[in-house]
Amino acid sequence: MILVSGFNVFPNEVEAVIASQPGVREVAAVPQPDERSGEVVAVFIVRSDPNLTAESVIDRARTELTGYKVPRHVYFRNELPKTNVGKILRRALREELAKPGLQ
C-alpha cells in the first residue's frame, strides 16, 4: 500500500488504469519517498509502443483516478524485476527508489 498524505492508495488500482492504456506491456506502482506528502505514487512501465510518453500516462490517469492516486513519477524500463514464477518484484523497485539520487 502507498500512503499519500494519509490516504491509502492500492497499487493494483493504479496499475489497472495504466495497464488499460494502449502501448503499456507491464506496469508496477510503488511508493516513492516525498518530503511534502510522505510518499507519492511512482510507476515503472515496460512499453510495447516506443511513442508512449510519461505525459500521456499521467493524463490518462488523471481522467480515471482521484488526484492523490495519480502517479507523480513515471519510469520506463526494458523489463521489470520478477520472481521465478513471473510475479513483479515491487520490493526491488521500492528499494531502488529509496536510494539517494533518484528523487
Q: Determine, yes or no, domain membership for 62.
A: yes
The enclosing domain of 89 has a CATH number of: 3.30.300.30
Asked whether residue 9 carries a pLDDT value surpassing 80, the answer given is yes
Do residues 31 and 94 lie in contact, with contact meaning Cβ atoms separated by under 8 Å? Answer: yes
Q: Sign of torsion, CA 84 54 18 61?
A: positive
Domain holding 84, by residue range, is: 2-98
Q: What is the mean pLDDT of residues 58-85?
A: 97
The answer to whether residue 103 sits within a structural domain is no
Number of structural domains found in the chain: 1
Model confidence, pTM: 0.92
Cell of 18: 495504466
pLDDT of residue 73: 97
Please report which helix (H) or strand (E) contains residue 40, including its range. Answer: strand 38-47
